[in-house]
Amino acid sequence: MTLTTARPRPTTPRPVRTAVLAAVTAAALTLAACGGGGGGKAAAPDAFAKDRSDTPAAQGDLDSYTWYGDYRAPYSLDPVKNADYPEQTVLPNVCESLLRVKSDYTLEPGLATKWEQPDPRTLLLTVRDGVKFADGTPMTVADVVYSLERNRDTRTVSSYASLYANVASITAGTGAGAATVKITFRTDDAVFVKVLATLGGSVVSRAHAKAKGADLGTPKAGVLCTGPYRVTSFDGAGDLTMERNDHYWDAGAVRSEKVTFVFPASAKALGNAIAGKAVDGGFNIPSPLVPTLAKANGGTLWTGAEGSSPQNLDLVVTDLRKGPLADPRTRQALSRALDREGIARSIFSAAADPLYAVAGPGTWGYARDRFQRAYDDLTVQADPAAAKELVTQAGAEGRKVKLAYPTGIELYAEVATTLQQTAERIGLDMEIVGLPLAQYGEMFIDPAAREPYDAFLTMNYIQITEPAFLYGFIATPDGPQNYGGYDNPEVADRITRAFGTTDDRARADLLIEAQERLAQDLPWIPIVAPRATVYLSDKVAGVPLTFGYMGRPWAAAVGAP
C-alpha cells in the first residue's frame, strides 16, 4: 500500500524513507473498502451511489460523536511521521494543509488562499491571513516555510520526504499585502502542488515544534496546529478525543463540539461496537462486516461508484530476471486467465471492479476521457485457452510459482486460492504460502524476504490522484515499489517527462504510452479495485464517499442528519 512516490529521476538520491515503507501492511490489516453493500440497506450493485462523491450533508449540529479511526491508534501526532490510514483519518482535522482535496479529488484553498505556477519550476502560494494556532498564537509565513522544510530535513524522517526530492528551495516573501511562499524546483514539475493537499503540506507551530524537539507528536508533547479540532486526550494506544478549536479561522464550518476516535482491534470488535451504538460511523469498513451492515437497522452502509477509491489489489512479481515469471508471456498468461469480474463479484460482494491497469479509474484526477479510452482498450474477458497457449510458448508448463499472501485475513486467502486454481487451469503449478503480517511486511522492505517467492499479493493505494506518482513508484528504476527490478527505458522516459508536463492532456498521453507497455510487461498484475465504503449511523451525516477525506478536515462537517 502506498500514499506517494519518489520522483523517478536517476540524478536524485533515493530518499532515506518513503511513505510506502511507513504503510506496508496497512491495507492488509484494515481490509480497507473491501466489502460489499450499498447505499441504504441493500447489497445489490444497483444500490451503489453511482453519481455522487459525498454522502448527504449534515443539517444540524452535534455535541459529540464517535468514529472508527481504523485498525490502530496513530503512532504519532506529528502529521508527517506516518503516511497510513489512522494518521490520515485523524490528523487532517488537527493539522491543516496549505491546500485541500474535495470529495471529487479536485484541489481547493486551505491555509493557502491561492496558488499559481508562473513557470514549470516555480510555485507561488498566498498564505491565508488571520489564521491562529489552537493556543491563539498567529500562524505566520515562517511557520509555513518551517513546516514544509521539515519534509526535507533528514532529521525529521518524514514519510513525505521522497515527494520533496525535486524541491530546490522554499522561501518566504511578501506581495500585494499578503504573505507568500515560493517553492522552486530543480527541474520542471507539474504535479508537486498536489502534495500540498496531503499531510506533507501541513503546517505546525514552529515555536512549539522547536520547543518539543524529538518529543513532538508524542502523547505528552502533542502537536500545535490550526485545524478545527485539538487533541485533548490520547495515551498513544487507546481512544483519541478531539475538541473544538476555539481559535479556528473558519469556526462556522465546525458542527460538532467533540469527536472521539476508537480503534477496535478486529472486525468483530468493530461490529459489536456498531451494534451497541458505541460507534457512529467509519470509513473503510472491514469486509466481514459488510453483509451485516448492509442490512442493519439504525444506520446506512454506503458504497461509492467505480473510481471512488484509489485502491488496487495486485499480484507483484518479486524478480523479473529469474524464475517462472521472468518470461513476460507467463505473466501475460496469468493476467489473461484471471476472472476479474468473478473475483469482484464473489470475493468483494460486488463492491469492487475489475482492474486492467494498476493506475485505474480511482487515480485519474484529470483528463478522464483520455484515460478512460485507453483503459477500455485494455479491458479483456478471461480467456484460459489463450492463456494456456502463452504458458506453452514460454515453456512454463508444470513450473512451480510460489505466491505469498498475509494470513489471518480471509479475503487474501480467497484471492490466493482463486489465483492458484487459475494457474492450475493454464498449466502452472502454483503454491500459495500464507505469512504472518510481520513477516509479510518485511517483503516491502527487505529483498531477502522476497527472495523465496515468485510473487505476492498487495492492496495498494495512493492518496494523490495522479497516475504519474503511482507509475513512478512501480515502473522506474529507482521507484520505491519496483520490487522486481523492472527496467524499461522507454517507460521510465515517459513517466519522468510526465512529471514535468504542465498540460494535463499531454501528461495523460505520456502516461498512457507508458501504461500500454506496462500492460504487456506486467511487473505488477492488476486484479480488482475496491470501492469506497462508509458506515453512518442514523445519528450522523456529512462525510465524503471517496478517499478525499484524507486531504481535508472532514470531521468538522459531520453533524446531525
What is the percentage of the chain residues whose pLDDT exceeds 70?
A: 90
- Give residue-wise pLDDT tens across range 530-557: 999 999 999 999 999 999 999 999 999 9
**The three grid cell numbers given for residue 345, joined into one nine-digit string:** 463479484
At 266, is the pLDDT very low, low, confident or very high (cuts 50, 70, 90)?
confident
Segment among 48-57, 73-82, 464-473 with least mean pLDDT = 48-57
For 54, 130, 418, the CA distances from 332, given in Å and listed in that order, are: 38, 57, 17
Helix (H), strand (E) at residue 353: strand 352-354
- Give residue-wise pLDDT tens across range 281-292: 999 888 778 888
β-strand partners of 317: 455
For residue 63, give its domain range: 19-304+532-557
Examine the pLDDT at 22 and tell me if it is beyond 60.
no
Work out whether the CA dihedral 480, 481, 485, 489 comes out positive or negative: negative
Examine the pLDDT at 67 and tell me if it is beyond 80.
yes
- Do 196 and 323 fall into the same domain? no
The answer to whether the CB of 529 falls within 8 A of the CB of 312 is: yes
What is the identity of the amino acid at 190? Answer: A
**The three grid cell numbers given for residue 342, joined into one nine-digit string:** 468473478
The answer to whether position 398 is within a domain reads yes
- Do 270 and 347 fall into the same domain? no
Compute how many other C-beta atoms are within 10 angstroms of the C-beta atom of residue 169. Answer: 12
First to last CA, the chain: 34
Examine the pLDDT at 376 and tell me if it is beyond 50.
yes
- Do 416 and 299 fall into the same domain? no
Helix (H), strand (E) at residue 524: strand 524-530
Can you give the pLDDT at residue 408? 81
Give backbone dihedrals phi and psi of 124, rounded to 5 degrees, phi first.
-115, 135
Examine the pLDDT at 327 and tell me if it is beyond 70.
yes
Task: Give the CB-side neighbour count of residue 221, counting CA atoms within 13 A.
Answer: 17
- Do 267 and 337 fall into the same domain? no
β-strand partners of 354: 528
464-484 mean pLDDT: 95
The answer to whether position 161 is within a domain reads yes
Can you give the pLDDT at residue 49? 55
**The three grid cell numbers given for residue 295, joined into one nine-digit string:** 442490512
**The three grid cell numbers given for residue 20, joined into one nine-digit string:** 510506502
**Angle 279-280-282 from CA coordinates, rounded to 5°:** 85
> How far apart are alpha carbons 493 and 515 in whole angstroms?
12
> How far apart are alpha carbons 453 and 443 in whole angstroms?
10
The answer to whether position 8 is within a domain reads no
* Closest-CA residue to 8 (of 443, 504, 363, 494): 494
**The three grid cell numbers given for residue 334, joined into one nine-digit string:** 496469468
What is the percentage of the chain residues whose pLDDT exceeds 90?
A: 81
- Do 218 and 337 fall into the same domain? no
Contacts of 232 (CB under 8 A, 6+ apart): 241, 242, 243
Q: Find the largest Cα–Cα distance for the chain.
A: 72
At 16, is the pLDDT very low, low, confident or very high (cuts 50, 70, 90)?
very low
**CATH for 448:** 3.10.105.10
251 versus 455: the higher-pLDDT residue is 455
β-strand partners of 534: 283, 302
Examine the pLDDT at 61 and tell me if it is beyond 90.
yes
215-242 mean pLDDT: 98
Examine the pLDDT at 249 and tell me if it is beyond 70.
yes
The answer to whether position 541 is within a domain reads yes
The answer to whether position 6 is within a domain reads no
108-118 mean pLDDT: 97
Can you give the pLDDT at residue 177? 74
467-479 mean pLDDT: 95
262-280 mean pLDDT: 94
**CATH for 59:** 3.40.190.10
176-205 mean pLDDT: 95
At 175, is the pLDDT very low, low, confident or very high (cuts 50, 70, 90)?
low
- Do 366 and 504 fall into the same domain? yes
The answer to whether the CB of 480 falls within 8 A of the CB of 163 is: no
Segment among 45-59, 62-76, 90-104 with least mean pLDDT = 45-59
Can you give the pLDDT at residue 507? 98
Examine the pLDDT at 193 and tell me if it is beyond 80.
yes
- Do 324 and 293 fall into the same domain? no
- Do 77 and 221 fall into the same domain? yes
Examine the pLDDT at 271 and tell me if it is beyond 90.
yes
Examine the pLDDT at 10 and tell me if it is beyond 50.
no
At 21, is the pLDDT very low, low, confident or very high (cuts 50, 70, 90)?
very low
- Do 27 and 163 fall into the same domain? yes
* Closest-CA residue to 169 (of 155, 156, 182): 182
The answer to whether position 5 is within a domain reads no
> How far apart are alpha carbons 148 and 98 in whole angstroms?
10
The answer to whether the CB of 154 falls within 8 A of the CB of 140 is: no
Structurally, how many domains does the chain consist of? 2
> How far apart are alpha carbons 4 and 23 in whole angstroms?
11
Based on its alpha-carbon atoms, the radius of gyration of the chain, rounded to whole angstroms, reads 23
Segment among 19-33, 120-134, 321-335 with least mean pLDDT = 19-33
Segment among 64-73, 168-177, 499-508 with least mean pLDDT = 168-177
The answer to whether the CB of 216 falls within 8 A of the CB of 78 is: yes
Residue tagged 447505499 (cell numbers):
39
- Do 61 and 142 fall into the same domain? yes
Q: Concatenated DSSP letters for 435-495? A: E-HHHHHHTTT-HHHHTT-SEEEEEE--SS--HHHHHHHHHSTT-TT-TT----HHHHHHH
**The three grid cell numbers given for residue 388, joined into one nine-digit string:** 494456456
Residues 353-388 as b/e (b if ≥16 CB within 10 A, e otherwise) read: bbbbbbbbbbbbbbbeebbeebbeeeeeebebeebb
The answer to whether position 251 is within a domain reads yes
At 28, is the pLDDT very low, low, confident or very high (cuts 50, 70, 90)?
very low
Can you give the pLDDT at residue 50? 58
- Do 268 and 319 fall into the same domain? no
- Do 261 and 370 fall into the same domain? no
The answer to whether position 2 is within a domain reads no
pLDDT averaged over every residue in the chain = 90
Residue tagged 453512518 (cell numbers):
536
